[in-house]
Amino acid sequence: MMKFKNIELNGTYKVVYFDASFAIYDEKGRQIYYENSDGDWAKWEYDDYGATCYEDSDGEIFDKRVKELTIKQIEKLLGYKIKVKGE
């Protein structure tokens, strides 16, 4: 494993350089990182169905990755206690 610009890289990647910017593509040809000459950047994560996470240097974040939470964490998010019932 290698880290580049805080992105963990496992496997084979393609780096494409433009005039003053560059992009990194994964082994399936999906763009996972882009940075321009001003230092603006964007990064993506994917699963088998498409993009699961996007983040950029302007603070825009799109994250639909599955999150694992404890009951206590769920209660804190909801603001009240919950009781788990059998299905």
pLDDT at 9 over 80: no
CA distance 74 to 38: 40
Per-residue CA distances from 83 to 12, 38, 39, 69, 77 (Å): 46, 51, 48, 15, 14
CA distance 26 to 68: 26
pLDDT value at position 81? Answer: 93
Q: Is 46 helix (H, G, I), strand (E, B) or coil?
A: strand
What pTM was computed for the model? Answer: 0.67
pLDDT band at 18 (very low <50, low <70, confident <90, very high): confident
Amino acid at 86: G
Tell me the per-residue pLDDT of 20-45, one tens digit each, with 9 for 90 and over.
Answer: 999 999 999 999 999 999 999 999 99
